[in-house]
Amino acid sequence: MSEKKVKFLIYLILLVITLQNVSSLGLSPAIKSYNFVPDDVIGIRYNVLSSPDIEVEVSAEGDLAKYVSFDKIGIVDSGEFIATINLPHSIETPGPHRLSIVVGQKIDPELATGFIGTRIVVVGAVDIYVPYPGRYIELQLKGYDVNVGEPVNFELGISSKGTEGVNITPKIEIYSGNEKVRDLYFNNRFLGSQESIVLQKQLETRELNPGNYKAIAFVDYGALDQAETTFRVGDLNIDITNYSNRIPITKLQPFNIEVESGWNNNIDGVFADVQILNGSIVFSSFKTTSTSLTPWEKKIITGYVDTSNFTEGAYDANLTLTYYGKDQRGTTNEMVKVQFYKGPSILIWFIIGGLGILIILILIAIKFIQKINHIKHGKIKSSRKK
């Protein structure tokens, strides 16, 4: 085995060992969240999981790191430690503050690490939220896709993130395009400082048409805040979103149809019957492959058309989709135009290829002539010097 191969094998082994070590250090809990309370003391017990041969050291990073202390800063093998956060009386900057609890492999500075000197590190996050002065809220709105006749479930999360409590008056407006179609109202209520709630509301869809909708939540708390989301109301329907509209006349050619589900459930047995019409006469017919669609999925199904008897021009094509969902049968029919055209003949390709070869030969000949002339010119100059 060559020296290069031996070195590569050693590097590969070291890399595998390093990757194994990376996965051998863990820390829990991974993340903790707290609301800021002046002069509060927060104690968090952490568990460290590591290989027997790893010694780790503990530290803190972030703008609140100076308020953190540990009952131990080094651990051999697996173990636990307690991080204590002594919060100050006030923090000037409102909003979230992230504190990182860092557990890293201890490296001996006198030990040569060789090819790979990677230090294994895991980080736990502590988020401390400092309230904004006065009244302030944050909103989150969720809505879910359904089928016609099924209720849409909304979840409106409201968090009071200010130093003062708030009286809130929430509502949700439902839009189809730019037209408002429904209002959903909630009871008035009070939220204390740093208090959070999740409100639920249902929208009946029996009188709504299938399609895409937008929901906007408005919350009046002395000021007005809003959040929005989108949702879909589906029915057992598949749309044809694209198809092969130009086909060369060269024997058997693929015919692709792009389909998109408009239903919030799985649809099975999706295929298309395709009829190519010459006036009122069916000139060619074929079926595509069969497939299934997950909710709202878009996919391409393919059939093959024999173009041997076609002449150039535009033909009508009748595309009929058949599909099944929850023991219901559905169909979609669309009449489209398909252009059949003659592609470049083999003779043309031979001509193009021949011209290309000829150009290359001419360029080679020119270069060869230039080289001969250069040599002759050099000899003439040499004879004159003599």
**Model confidence pLDDT, tens digit, residues 47-94:** 999 887 788 999 999 999 999 999 998 888 788 999 999 999 999 999
Q: Which of 93, 89, 88 is nearest to 68 (CA)?
A: 88
Q: What local confidence, expressed as pLDDT, does residue 155 receive? A: 98
Which positions ≥6 away from 318 have C-beta within 8 Å? 274, 275, 277, 333, 334, 335
CA-to-CA dists, residue 10 to 7, 16, 116, 225, angstroms = 5, 10, 11, 61
Handedness of CA 93, 98, 103, 104 (dihedral sign): negative
Q: Tell me the three state secondary structure of residue 110.
A: coil
Q: What local confidence, expressed as pLDDT, does residue 345 receive? A: 53
CA-to-CA dists, residue 374 to 48, 154, 368, 383, angstroms = 79, 85, 10, 15
Q: Which of 283, 334, 339, 337 is nearest to 306 (CA)?
A: 283
Q: What local confidence, expressed as pLDDT, does residue 197 receive? A: 97
Which positions ≥6 away from 246 have C-beta within 8 Å? 338, 339, 341
Q: What local confidence, expressed as pLDDT, does residue 274 receive? A: 97
Token representation of residue 94: 């409102």
Q: What local confidence, expressed as pLDDT, does residue 383 receive? A: 56
**Model confidence pLDDT, tens digit, residues 113-165:** 544 456 789 999 999 999 999 999 999 999 999 999 999 999 999 999 999 99
Longest pairwise C-alpha distance within the chain: 113
Q: For every one of its 386 residues, what pLDDT tens digit does the chain have, with 9 covering 90 and above?
A: 556 554 555 555 555 454 444 447 889 999 999 999 999 999 999 999 988 778 899 999 999 999 999 999 888 878 899 999 999 999 999 999 999 999 998 876 665 554 445 678 999 999 999 999 999 999 999 999 999 999 999 999 999 999 999 999 999 999 999 999 999 999 999 999 999 999 999 999 999 999 999 999 999 999 999 999 999 999 999 999 999 999 999 889 999 999 999 999 999 999 999 999 988 899 999 999 999 999 999 999 999 999 988 999 999 999 999 999 988 999 999 999 999 998 765 556 667 777 888 888 888 888 878 777 777 666 555 555 55
Q: What local confidence, expressed as pLDDT, does residue 368 receive? A: 79
Q: Which residues of the chain form CATH 2.60.40.10? A: 21-130, 137-234, 238-341
CATH topology of domain 21-130: Immunoglobulin-like (2.60.40)
Q: Could you please report the per-residue DSSP string of 229-297?
A: EEEEEE-S-EEEEEE--EEE-SSEEEEEEEEEE-SSS-EEEEEEEEEEEETTEEEEEEE---EEE-TT-
- CATH code of 238-341, in short, is 2.60.40.10
Q: What local confidence, expressed as pLDDT, does residue 12 receive? A: 56
Q: Which residues of 270-283 are buried (b: 16+ CB within 10 A; e: fewer)?
A: bbbbbebbeeeeeb
- CATH code of 137-234, in short, is 2.60.40.10
